[in-house]
Chain A
């Protein structure tokens, strides 16, 4: 068994048994938040990490699916209809986002997505008949897949864990597929990719759709978890926060967004209980990461680990023998 596989099995076992060893409902709820924010960050990572397209409007998409779920449930539709509608609306919105924003790359892409995110936030704030304006939308109840009610924190945690693991598996397969390699190729050298016969725009569009799917799923989990959605969940701060999760953990890596979302949620939900100025602490952590590990926590830790391992490795036997003689 390789070390990597052993670590993976231990991590899965720890996640599966978390409600048993984690004392207190509050911490199980924090773990649920980490899981759906990790799905959100994985979605943004498709664009920011693997496609080289940094979006500052993803909270808008996150909010669209959350609002759609809440709106459909309040109209009296079943959970399955609400979820299917939310996913559909989320994907259509992502397609519109993509068509408009893929006209540019770099700073242009950032500015267009920022503008789109602000438009969605403005609609959520002002379209009161649909969104409830500043008061938001309240939900009542969670779905019961296969007759299992997700009302308890533990049940919701397991539902979030299953969704998270599926999202992680999808991302792992995607990143290792030829399409994943092609997406990274468009990030590194789009011109060269056209010379290799690729339609760069189409690959980026597909990446946007995958990103939109994961973001919509995260939005649905968010609204079921909180039983409430308001414009605050899709403002610029929310978009920036998830981007920081991706960057701090390590953009363009599978584990980075998960580590980043864990860091942000733990500081916001746990450390904030002990430190009043937790925003200052979070900012300081980000500054430290950017200075010490500009590539992010996961790749930075791997780099330091390898450097330390290389330093401890003993010299070749021949050399030692020669010195002894």
Chain B
């Protein structure tokens, strides 16, 4: 695997007394896409929250481009180049589309590999957002809200993008649009973790796959290898 962009090493995380992540370890390679799969409650979103610092890891280490960030608050992890597209979009509903983007604007990370994302470049990628720039975000459709959530994360000029179920609740045509965007982002050199319930979406775009099962890493593989192993997919995801 290429240089590690984000790594979780033997991470344990808890919600209260519930031990939700148990000795979880995986690596996201630089400029690669890692698909994180698993059933409901497997710990996928928790991994995203731990990677972003929104939930503290009780044991283990989290590293961003080799630098430990385990005990850092979310704002410092964000400053080191990590951005999250959260599950359920969670846009700022009382702000306009433009304000949602402005509020997330940051200069590019130290690695400086990626073109600087600005409102103009975001609008180029999502022309529909430009049409609705002055509208309150609450009035956007689900697909547009997802585009805004992705645009907002990109405005931080991240080096690592964590995407938590970006296709959730969207119509198939909109899902195709969102996935096309994700493909473009990958081609631009961003390191991406894509959390999904639907493995077919991930197999199309990911370089590496990690499957979580009840808070543990069950499988580390590649899409090509996994697609051939129906029994394994059935065992951990209940599909195929």
Q: Taking beta carbons and an 8 Å cutoff, which residues of A are in contact with B?
A: 178, 181-182, 184-185, 187-189, 191-192, 194-199, 252
Which of B54, B92, B94, B156 interacts with A197 by CB under 8 Å? Answer: B156
Q: Which residues of B contact A188 (CB under 8 A)?
A: 92-95
Which of B73, B95, B104 interacts with A194 by CB under 8 Å? Answer: B73
Q: Is B79 an interface residue (CB 8 A)?
A: yes
Q: Taking beta carbons and an 8 Å cutoff, which residues of B are in contact with A?
A: 52-54, 73-75, 78-79, 83-84, 86, 90, 92-95, 99-100, 102-106, 152, 156
Contact A178 B103 (CB under 8 A): yes
Q: How far is the CB of A172 from chain B (nearest CB, A)?
A: 15
Contact B90 A192 (CB under 8 A): yes
Given A195-B78, A195-B86, A199-B75, the answer on whether A185 and B103 have CB atoms closer than 8 Å is yes
A178 to B152, CA, bound (A): 13
Contact B95 A185 (CB under 8 A): yes
What 9 A-B pairs have minimum CB-CB distances, sorted nearest first? A197-B78, A194-B74, A181-B99, A181-B103, A196-B104, A178-B102, A197-B75, A188-B92, A195-B84
Q: Which residues of A contact B152 (CB under 8 A)?
A: 196
Q: How far is the CB of B183 from chain A (nearest CB, A)?
A: 24
The chain B residue sitting closest to A182, CB to CB, is B103
Q: Which residues of B contact A185 (CB under 8 A)?
A: 92, 95, 103
Which of B73, B75, B90, B106 interacts with A189 by CB under 8 Å? Answer: B90
A191 to B156, CA, bound (A): 16
Q: Which residues of B contact A182 (CB under 8 A)?
A: 103
9 A-B contact pairs sorted by A residue (CB < 8 Å): A178-B102, A178-B105, A182-B103, A187-B94, A188-B93, A188-B94, A191-B54, A194-B54, A196-B152
Q: How far is the CB of B201 from chain A (nearest CB, A)?
A: 23
A197 to B53, CA, bound (A): 11
Contact A196 B94 (CB under 8 A): no
Which of A184, A192, A194, A199 interacts with B94 by CB under 8 Å? Answer: A184
Q: Which residues of B contact A252 (CB under 8 A)?
A: 94
Q: Which residues of A contact B104 (CB under 8 A)?
A: 196
A197 to B72, CA, bound (A): 12
The chain A residue sitting closest to B90, CB to CB, is A192
Q: Which residues of B contact A199 (CB under 8 A)?
A: 75
A191 to B92, CA, bound (A): 12
Q: How far is the CB of A45 from chain B (nearest CB, A)?
A: 14
Which of A178, A189, A195 interacts with B92 by CB under 8 Å? Answer: A189
Q: Which residues of A contact B79 (CB under 8 A)?
A: 197
Q: How far is the CB of A188 from chain B (nearest CB, A)?
A: 5
Given contacts A194-B73, A197-B74, 16 further A-B contacts (CB under 8 A): A181-B95, A181-B99, A181-B102, A181-B103, A185-B103, A188-B93, A188-B94, A192-B90, A192-B92, A194-B53, A195-B54, A195-B86, A196-B78, A196-B104, A196-B156, A199-B75
Q: How far is the CB of B15 from chain A (nearest CB, A)?
A: 15
Q: How far is the CB of B102 from chain A (nearest CB, A)?
A: 5
The chain A residue sitting closest to B149, CB to CB, is A192
Which of A178, A181, A187, A194 interacts with B75 by CB under 8 Å? Answer: A194
Q: How far is the CB of A251 from chain B (nearest CB, A)?
A: 11
A74 to B52, CA, bound (A): 56
A199 to B84, CA, bound (A): 16
A199 to B75, CA, bound (A): 6
Q: How far is the CB of A111 from chain B (nearest CB, A)?
A: 25
Q: Which residues of A contact B75 (CB under 8 A)?
A: 194, 197-199
Given A184-B92, A185-B95, A189-B90, the answer on whether A195 and B52 have CB atoms closer than 8 Å is yes
Which of B53, B86, B105, B106 interacts with A192 by CB under 8 Å? Answer: B86
Given A181-B95, A184-B95, A188-B93, the answer on whether A197 and B106 have CB atoms closer than 8 Å is yes
Q: Which residues of A contact B54 (CB under 8 A)?
A: 191, 194-195
The chain B residue sitting closest to A187, CB to CB, is B94
Q: Which residues of A contact B53 (CB under 8 A)?
A: 194-195
A185 to B75, CA, bound (A): 14
A93 to B99, CA, bound (A): 32
A191 to B87, CA, bound (A): 13
Q: Which residues of A contact B99 (CB under 8 A)?
A: 181, 184
The chain A residue sitting closest to B153, CB to CB, is A196
Q: Which residues of A contact B105 (CB under 8 A)?
A: 178
The chain B residue sitting closest to A200, CB to CB, is B75
